[in-house]
Every structure is written in C-alpha cells, then in structure tokens.
Amino acid sequence: MKVRIKNNALKAFWITLTAGIAIFTIYTSVRTIRDMQQTKKKSAEVDKDIARYEARIAADSTFCENMKSPEYLERYAREELHMQREGETVYIIE
C-alpha cells in the first residue's frame, strides 16, 4: 500500500514536471517567434530607408557635380533663388 501511494506521488510529480517544462517551452517558443517577426519587420523598414537614402545620395551627388558648371550654377541661381545681374529687370511669371 505504501509503495503504491509512493508510486502515485512519484507519477504525479513527473507528470507535473513534464507539463511545466512543456508549458515553459511553448511560452519561450511563442515569444521567440514574435520577436523574430518584429525583427524581420524592422529589417524590412531599414532596407527601405537604405534604398531611399542611397537614391538621395545619388541625386545630391549629381546636383553637386552640376553645380561645378558655371552655366548650371547661373541657371539655378536665377530659377530657384530669383537672383539677377546688376542692371537687369526680372519679371516672374507664374
């Protein structure tokens, strides 16, 4: 009788321990999967930002190269900054 009670208690202990380990494993796995999904989402956003900044760098590099040309510099100053030479009268038509 004592052996049977001891055996039942031992079985209950192992069943409880196994259930606890299973619950812990499932909880940890779910958390890890959620974190991985968030990391993938952030990585995709960073990749988009990188592409956008690379395009901006290319456009700015082209602009800097164009600004080395006196003709482009004068055209830019007149069109964008509304500058004029001395003695000129400029009319802005929009």
User: How far is the C-alpha of 7 from the C-alpha of 91, rounded, in Å?
Assistant: 102
Whether 87 is in a domain gets the answer no
What is the helix (H) or strand (E) element at residue 81, kind and residue range?
none
Name every residue whose Cβ is closer than 8 Å to that of residue 67 and which is 6 or more positions away in sequence: 73, 76
What predicted TM-score, i.e. pTM, was given to this entire model? Answer: 0.58
Whether 36 is in a domain gets the answer yes
Whether 91 is in a domain gets the answer no
User: How far is the C-alpha of 36 from the C-alpha of 42, rounded, in Å?
Assistant: 10
Domain range for 60: 2-80
Task: Give the Cβ contact number of residue 34 at 10 Å.
Answer: 10
Provide the residue-wise pLDDT of the chain in tens; the chain has 94 residues. 556 667 888 899 999 999 999 999 999 999 999 999 999 999 999 999 999 999 999 999 999 999 999 999 999 998 888 888 888 887 777 7
Whether 23 is in a domain gets the answer yes
Whether 51 is in a domain gets the answer yes
Whether 18 is in a domain gets the answer yes
Whether 92 is in a domain gets the answer no
Whether 85 is in a domain gets the answer no
Domain count, the chain: 1
Q: How many CA atoms lie within 13 A of 60 on its CB side?
A: 6
